[in-house]
Structure 1
Amino acid sequence: MRILLIGYGKMGKTIEQMALAKGHQIAGTIDHTNSETLSNYTAENVDVAIEFTHPEAAFGNITYCLQHNIPVVVGSTGWLDKLENAKQLCADTNGAFFYASNFSVGVNLFFHFNEYIAAKMQAYKEYSVGIREIHHLQKVDKPSGTGITTAEGILPHFPALSGWVADQEMEGKLNIISEREPDVVGTHIVTYSSDVDKIELSHVAHSRTGFAEGALMAAEWLKDKKGVYGMKDMLNL
C-alpha cells in the first residue's frame, strides 16, 4: 500500500517505521517545510493518506485529499469546528474519511467503558463528574481531542449538564482540566466524586506506539472503502 504521510513529526516518523516494517511504501512525506508539494499527490500515486498536523492545517489537508480521491485517515485535533464540513465534503466527493481523536486501541476501549460507566452513574445524583487530561508540553490544543471525546461519551447520560468547559468550574457544565508537563505521552482520568468516596477510570499511555499502530491499522482498513468512519467502526464497538 502506498501511504502519504501528511505531518512528519514524531508521530509521522513512528508510523513510517511501522509501515515500512509491514511492507508498505511511503509515497511521500509532507511537513511545514514542503507543504506546497501536497499538490504532487493524487489517487494515481497514493492509496491512502495519514494526516497528523496542526489545527490550522488539518482541514485544508483533508479537503485536498477528498477532492483528489485520496482516502484520508486524520489524527489532528483542535479543528473539530469543521468536522461536519469534512463529513459533508466526503459525501459530496464520494470519498473515504476516517477521523479519531485517538487511535490507540486501549483508549478506544477506555471510551467504550467510559460510556458504560456514565450510563450507570447517572442514577447516583450524589456523585459529580469531571475529566482531567495531562500531556507533554508540545501539545498545542486544550483540552485534548481525547478529553473532548471522553466528555462527549458522558454528556448524553447527564441531562443536567449542557456541555463541557475547559479549566473552570461552571454550574451545569462538565469541566475538563488540562495540564501540560514534560515527557507525558497522554493521560486521561474520569472522576466521580461524592462526600464519601471517589471512583476513577483512567488511561495512561506509555509511548506513541499504540497511537501509530492504530493509525496504520485504520489506513489498512480504510483502503477501498467509501464513507465516514471512526474507531468504533473498525473495532466493532
Structure 2
Amino acid sequence: MDIAILGYGRMGKEIEKAAISRGHNIVLKVDKDTIEYDITEADVAIDFSVPASAVGNIANCLNNGVPVVSGTTGWLADYEKITTLCKQRKGAFIYASNFSLGVNIFFELNKKLAEMMAPLEQYKVSMEEIHHTNKLDAPSGTAITLAEGIIENSAYKQWALEVAKANEIPIVAKRIPEVPGTHAVMYHSEVDTLEIKHTAHNRKGFALGAVVASEWLVGKTGVFSMRDVLNLG
C-alpha cells in the first residue's frame, strides 16, 4: 500500500518503520511545516498529528476518498461531525485512543472486570495513567476510553481528573520523561486491592496496531473501531 503519514513526530516515525517492515510505501509525510500536499497520492492515511490539526486532516482525507486511521486524541468534541462526513462521503474511518493490540485486549478485560465488580459496593475504582512529558492532553485518550468502559458497565456516571465526587472515577495523570504509556485500573476495598495494568515498553506496539488497522480498512466503507479490526465482537 501507499501510505500517507499525517503528523511526522515520534509516533509518525515509528509508523514509518512499521509500515516499511510490512512491505508498504510511505508516499507522504506531513508535519506542521507542510503547506500543500495531494492526499490522493495515498491508498490510506494514518493521522498522528495534534488536536488542532486532526479534524482538518481527517476531513481532507474523507473529502478526497482516502481511508483514514486516526490515533490523535484531544479532538473528540468534533467526532460526530467527522463520522457524519464519513457517512455522507461513503468513506472509511477508524479512530482509536490507542492502537496497541495489547491495549485493545486490555479495554475488553476492563469492561468485563467492571461488570463483575459492579455488584460489590465495598470496592471503589480509581485509575492512573503515566505518559511522557511531551503528551499534550490529560488524562490520556486511553484513560478516558477505560473510564467509559467502566461507566458503561457500572453505577459510575462520570470520570474526573485527580479529585472525584461520589459516582465519579478519579483519574491521576502523571507526566514523566520517556514513558511511552502506562495505564492501571484499581479496585480498592478495606481488605484488598484488585488491579489490572498495561505497560507499554516502547512505541512499536502503537505503530504496529495503526498499520494493521490501515491494512484492514482499505476497501471498506463505514466508521469502525479496533474492536472491528481485531474481531472482538
CA deviation digits over 1:119-157, x for unaligned, max 9?
000010000001110000001000100000000110022
Q: How many residues align?
A: 232
Match of 2:47 in 1: 51
CA contact (8 A) 2:18 2:204 kept: no
Match of 1:10 in 2: 10
What is the TM-score when the length of structure 1 is the normalising length? 0.96
1:196 equivalent to 2:185? Answer no
Pairwise CA RMSD of aligned residues? 0.9
Alignment of 1:147-162 (within 5 A): 147-159=143-155, 161-162=156-157
Match of 2:39 in 1: 41
What is the TM-score when the length of structure 2 is the normalising length? 0.97
CA contact (8 A) 2:2 2:44 kept: yes
Q: Could you tell me the percent identity over the aligned residues?
A: 47
Match of 1:76 in 2: 72
Alignment of 1:48-127 (within 5 A): 48-127=44-123
Determine the C-alpha separation between the residues in 2 that align with 1:118 and 1:223.
34
Determine the C-alpha separation between the residues in 1 that align with 2:100 and 2:39.
28
Residue 50 of structure 1 deviates from its aligned partner by 0.3
Match of 1:143 in 2: 139
Residue 41 of structure 1 deviates from its aligned partner by 2.2
Runs of 4+ in structure 1 off by over 4 angstroms are none
Match of 1:32 in 2: 32
Q: Which runs of 5+ in 1 are unaligned?
A: none
Q: Which runs of 5+ in 2 are unaligned?
A: none
CA deviation digits over 1:163-222, x for unaligned, max 9?
111121222211111110111110000000011110000000000000000000001100
